[in-house]
Amino acid sequence: MNGPALHCQRIGAGPDLVLLHGWGLHAGIWAPLTELLATRFRLHLYDLPGHGHSAPVDEFTLDGVCEALAREVPERAHWLGWSLGGLVALAFATRFPARVERLLMVASNPRFVAMDTQHPGMAPEVIAQFAQELETDYSATIARFLSLVARGAPDASVLRVLRRAMTAAPAPTPGALRDGLAILRDSDLRAQLPRLIMPVAWLAGARDTLVPMAAMQNIVHAYPAMQLVAFEQAGHAPFVSHPQAFASIVTEFL
């Protein structure tokens, strides 16, 4: 698939580390981490298509985004994906395993929507409500989403960081938001997990109300070679609420 280049900020020196943000946001959300990691890694901070400074693509799908990234990312790098960005990183790692050195999945889930007690996740009606509200009141939908991301954080500073981030770059396009919700609603990459040949770590917030930590615990139980690190006082964005501890764990794993 041909398309415009993705916007990327590159900072730091060392092994290459690709970072992918979550739904509705942009690469500026990594600000609490950049100075902490840039002394050890060469960071590649991408805006997903239609988010931040990246132009939209005709089809915002996992295949389309992976193809766009494949043209631009380093030939081999570590990957860190948060939430929707984790789903993209996981899809990339299964499509291009030789290009992913190590994979860090942050508050992410190979199947975001709950299926049964064996696979916890978001209630289907939550995503359906987001999709419905998105068509009638964009600003209120984003505001409610940021509140859910911040829920479980130790204090109100996380919500303030998220709100500031939203104003620091162009707003995501309605099409990218709709397509991102469709990816979260429909994608199921659980069957791809056995294909991962690189070391994998899952970083979870114990108070996360969007991606239950139990989902990641079940994965690590099924695949003991993978690691799980829990932030007991964090919600959906542990890298915002606990940047120092988060950066230390990332550095140790990589």
Q: Coil, strand, or helix at residue 160? A: helix
Is 26 labeled as catalytic in the residue annotation? Answer: no
**Distance of alpha carbon 74 from alpha carbon 68, whole angstroms:** 13
Locus of tokens 């398309």: 3
> Catalytic: which of 83, 108, 187, 241?
83
* Cα distances (Å, whole numbers) of residue 36 to 12, 116, 122: 10, 39, 31
Locus of tokens 């940021």: 146
**Distance of alpha carbon 77 from alpha carbon 67, whole angstroms:** 16
Beta carbons within 8 Å of 103's beta carbon, 6+ residues apart:
78, 79, 80, 81, 89, 90, 93, 196, 198, 199, 200, 201
Is 208 labeled as catalytic in the residue annotation? Answer: yes
> Catalytic: which of 54, 208, 241, 242?
208
**Distance of alpha carbon 177 from alpha carbon 228, whole angstroms:** 29
Cβ neighbours around 139 below 10 Å, total: 9
What's the 3-state SS for 182-225? HHHHHCCCHHHHHHCCCCEEEEEECCCCCCCHHHHHHHHHHCCC
Cβ neighbours around 102 below 10 Å, total: 18
Tell me if 227 sits within 8 A of 201, measured CB to CB.
yes
| Catalytic annotation, residues | 83, 208, 236
